[in-house]
Amino acid sequence: MTVIKESTATGGSRAVVTARTPAGATPFTTEEIERIRADFPVLSRRVHGDVPLVYLDSSATSQRPRPVLDAERAFLETSYAAVHRGAHALADEATEAFEAARAAVGAFVGVDDDELVWTRNATEGINIVAAGVTDPSGEPTLRPGDEVVVTEMEHHANLLPWQRACARTGARLRWIPVTDDGRLDLAAADDIIGPRTKVLAVVHASNVLGTVNPVALLAARARAVGALTVLDACQSVPHMPVDVHRLGVDLAVFSAHKMLGPNGLGALAGRREVLDALPPLLLGGSIVDEVTMTTATFKKPPARFETGTPAISQTVALHAAVRYLEDLGRDRVAAHEHALTGRMLAGLAGIPGVRVLGPTSADDRIGAVSVVVDGVHPHDVGEVLDAAGIAVRVGHHCAQPVHRRFGVRSSTRASLYLYSTAAEVDAFLDALSGVRRYFGLV
């Protein structure tokens, strides 16, 4: 991270924390960010009468640009039909669009098209894997004495399915602890990942702490002991280049609605032979080769896991979303968010009574920044910010253990995306710095 001088509108200058990503990409210029924002109709909204919206809740769900909205609408107006079924022109067009989206989204995360399974969301993807390893017909199959390793900073989506998998099989759940500065304790990880480890399931970027974990390193260690590696890439795929194979993980999950795409769609992506060894979670139509009254044989992945009528137009929208992200350049998206995260962290450091959960430097960190305001409940913080048009998330963000790790039950999270601006970060800092005064605490 570096500090540079930025001219202010009044002709003065102020210190601004900025940064280059390791790849050397630069943040968006003011003109570029204006053009980007013009693509997102909702960002020009006013709330509570005439207060401009400051949307800092993109880690919960991101907003959608016109090309994504237009692509889905155009598909629905011209080519919508059931996929992989009908013998008519629309069914062919819909199937082609559905599979083209699969190929594009797969390429976006570095896997082949037969290595990307459409799911409802990331949560479903993890459940497919966690249920799969409790099924005796699958490989690997958890047995008593085996260990599943997660981290203390998991979203409940990557914790509860493993709790159940362990309870059902007699395997033991272990976790890599989090240090006081919000990083994984890698020395402990070295001991925890060992010969008994059958599964390592780890979050790439924490939705609470913002920490980006050293996944390649952890995956290499898990591979060396023959464990299956599962990556929760919900908060990384939208914000930085992610290549599943290059990271060395077997499987990864992510959700379309956090990366400019629609809700109701996610993906489970990873090594073909690993998917091929997993049994399906949901049983029913679209996934079978042969069915008798008492038996069924299943198709190869990805079809094996796509039970029932899938989300269809949503895949077309996600295809448009990855095109949009690629056109902007994922390195530049990361650089933009990195610079804004640095600005936010520097500003937060100057507000008395506000504590950041997680790393206080923007390195190896995404722009999901959770804070605790001394003496003020996050719901009250959220209300004060909302009155200023600032949309943040309050609560435990589906990650209670990591809050408990830092001695709190909940927090206030501001999260950035490619359309966020320095002015929005400053608006957040301004409003937050008034919260304790508002409640008579200073």
Ligand X SMILES: Cc1ncc(COP(=O)(O)O)c(C=O)c1O
Residues carrying an active site annotation: 398
Shortest Cβ 366–ligand X spacing (Å): 10
Measure CA of the first residue to CA of the last residue in the chain; give whole Å: 32
By CB under 6 A, residue 57 contacts ligand X: no
For ligand X, give the closer residue by CB, 95 or 151: 151
C-alpha–C-alpha distance, residues 232 and 125, integer Å:
9
Shortest Cβ 214–ligand X spacing (Å): 16
Shortest Cβ 232–ligand X spacing (Å): 5
Shortest Cβ 418–ligand X spacing (Å): 17
For ligand X, give the closer residue by CB, 371 or 384: 371
Q: Which of 18, 21, 134, 235 binds ligand X (CB under 6 A)?
A: 235
Strand partners, 232: 203, 253
* 3-state SS, residue 251: strand
Given a contact cutoff of 8 angstroms between Cβ atoms, the answer to whether 345 and 293 are in contact is: no
Strand partners, 254: 267
DSSP 8-state symbol, 257: G
C-alpha–C-alpha distance, residues 316 and 377, integer Å:
41
By CB under 6 A, residue 123 contacts ligand X: yes
Side-chain-facing half-sphere of 370: CA atoms under 13 Å: 28
Q: Which of 72, 146, 232, 337 binds ligand X (CB under 6 A)?
A: 232
Residue 180 neighbours by CB distance under 10 Å? 8
The interface region with ligand X, picked from 12-20, 121-129, 300-308, 382-390 by CB under 6 A, is 121-129
Q: Which of 131, 234, 317, 384 binds ligand X (CB under 6 A)?
A: 234
By CB under 6 A, residue 155 contacts ligand X: yes
Given a contact cutoff of 8 angstroms between Cβ atoms, the answer to whether 257 and 63 are in contact is: no
Residue with the two structure tokens 């272990």: 174
- Compose the 248-277 pattern: x for residues touching ligand X by CB under 6 A, - for all others: -------x----------x-----------
C-alpha–C-alpha distance, residues 339 and 85, integer Å:
48
By CB under 6 A, residue 152 contacts ligand X: no
For ligand X, give the closer residue by CB, 219 or 435: 219
Residues engaged in binding ligand X (CB under 6 A)? 121-123, 155, 157-158, 203, 207, 232, 234-235, 255, 266
